[in-house]
């Protein structure tokens, strides 16, 4: 069985595809995979690290750019289309999995031209432009949030699965990993992360808050850009504050935390729900179609999160939201229970079940 994955850009597009690939690898004997992406995103690091082959094409995003840049980027996508045709023609996949973002557009279009079976995974409450345009090419569209179905018209292949999670995150219940971060067993721990690239607003507010609250411990994923600044401010607080530009074993950080301060990317929201971590969410205000606001409202409406606008996040507003939570264990427990009611941990399994059924309609039963 051969599966091609079109995934690239941010971790939010790549990690769900890797989760599906891992589920397939665990279940299908003789599986062959090929990831196709660009050299401009995290795929060049994350995909090989997970043990998968990757090939690169030319593609750039076109949304929100100037006219000249759009022309250049459209030319790049066109080049990526022909490169994808060559790669797919040689690899001969049984099915092509697209996870959104500009990196997947050329690949999915090439797969459609070659009449390959195509499935798409949409992570956000408000679908990205790429997936909305490519929907007509897909047999299935796997949705991270039910709200996204409103944007695909009467497409017959919509399936609400939740977002595929890494196996270590899905199994991260009740992990107490504080010792791994050099933290004390007792006392509250604030986990701060703004996605794989960090978030300056969160880093600054959290740093000032942690300096003012010596009784709160911190795990801060800064991103590369703010790492030096945060370390200059919080370095002397070690071991009370653990600071890194990127935390690979995020499931351990989830297990060590009492509360999270985070952006509201689709994957972050899905993981926070899966591990039952009460959170303060700060949607990125410049996200396409303001989709992070809708992602955040999913957890806030369920009772598992508090939302603060990016423009209003300061040390003081963070303290006003966070201090009452940390002082009220019963409320934290109630938030955790609320998250458990909306969490989806079986998305990768559901997606793979359906993909195998799609492939088996042409090739006969897949050996598992």
Domains, the chain, ranges and CATH?
2-165+345-363 (3.40.50.2000), 169-342 (3.40.50.2000)
CB 83 within 8 A of CB 105: no
Tokens of 51: 């043990």
∠ CA 232-258-283, nearest 5°, is 70
Distance (Å, whole) CA 274 – CA 347 = 11
> What is the chain's pLDDT, residue by residue, as a tens digit (368 residues)?
999 999 888 888 999 999 999 999 999 999 999 999 998 888 999 999 999 999 999 876 555 556 776 677 677 778 899 999 999 999 999 999 999 877 789 999 999 999 999 999 999 999 988 899 899 999 999 999 999 999 999 999 999 999 999 888 866 655 678 999 999 999 999 999 987 666 899 999 999 999 999 999 999 999 989 999 999 999 999 899 999 998 988 999 999 999 999 999 999 999 999 999 999 999 999 888 889 999 999 999 999 999 999 999 999 999 999 999 999 999 999 999 999 999 999 999 999 999 999 998 755 444 44
Residue 363, judged by CB atoms within 10 A of its CB (0-12, 13-18, 19+), counts as: exposed
- Cβ contacts of 363 within 8 Å, gap of 6 or more: 1, 94
What pLDDT score was predicted for residue 253? Answer: 95
Q: What is the DSSP letter of 367?
A: P
Report if pTM > 0.85: yes
Other CB atoms within 10 A of residue 336 CB:
15
SS3 340: helix
């Amino acid at each position: 069985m051969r599966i091609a994955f079109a995934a690239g850009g941010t971790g939010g597009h790549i990690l769900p595809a890797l989760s599906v690939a891992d589920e397939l690898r665990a279940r299908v004997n003789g599986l062959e995979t090929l990831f196709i992406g660009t050299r401009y995103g995290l795929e060049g690091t994350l995909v090989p690290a997970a043990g998968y082959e990757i090939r690169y094409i030319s593609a750039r995003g076109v949304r929100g750019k100037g006219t000249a840049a759009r022309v250049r980027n459209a030319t790049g996508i066109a080049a990526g289309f022909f490169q994808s045709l060559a790669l797919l023609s040689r690899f001969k996949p049984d099915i092509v999995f697209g996870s959104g973002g500009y990196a997947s557009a050329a690949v999915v279009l090439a797969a459609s031209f070659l009449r390959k079976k195509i499935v798409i995974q949409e992570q956000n409450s408000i679908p990205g432009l790429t997936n909305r345009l490519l929907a007509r090419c897909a047999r299935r569209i796997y949705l991270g949030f039910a709200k996204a179905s409103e944007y695909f018209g009467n497409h017959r292949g919509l399936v609400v699965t939740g977002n595929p999670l890494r196996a270590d995150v899905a199994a991260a219940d009740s992990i107490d990993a504080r010792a791994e971060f050099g933290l004390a067993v007792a006392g509250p721990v604030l986990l701060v992360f703004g996605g794989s690239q960090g978030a300056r607003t969160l880093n600054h507010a959290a740093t000032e808050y942690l300096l003012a609250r010596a009784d709160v411990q911190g795990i801060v994923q800064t991103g590369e850009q703010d790492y030096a600044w945060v370390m200059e401010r919080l370095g002397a607080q070690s071991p009370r504050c653990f600071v890194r530009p990127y935390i690979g074993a995020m499931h351990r950080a989830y297990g060590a935390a009492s509360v999270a301060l985070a952006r509201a990317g689709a994957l972050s929201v899905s993981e926070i729900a899966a591990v039952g971590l009460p959170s303060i969410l700060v949607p990125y205000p410049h996200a396409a179609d303001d989709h992070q606001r809708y992602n955040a409202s999913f957890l806030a409406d369920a009772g598992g999160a508090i939302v603060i606008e990016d423009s209003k996040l300061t040390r003081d507003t963070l303290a006003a939201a966070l201090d009452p939570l940390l002082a009220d264990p019963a409320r934290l427990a109630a938030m955790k229970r609320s998250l458990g009611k909306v969490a989806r941990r079986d998305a990768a399994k559901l997606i793979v079940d359906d993909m195998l059924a799609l492939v088996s309609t042409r090739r006969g039963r897949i050996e598992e």
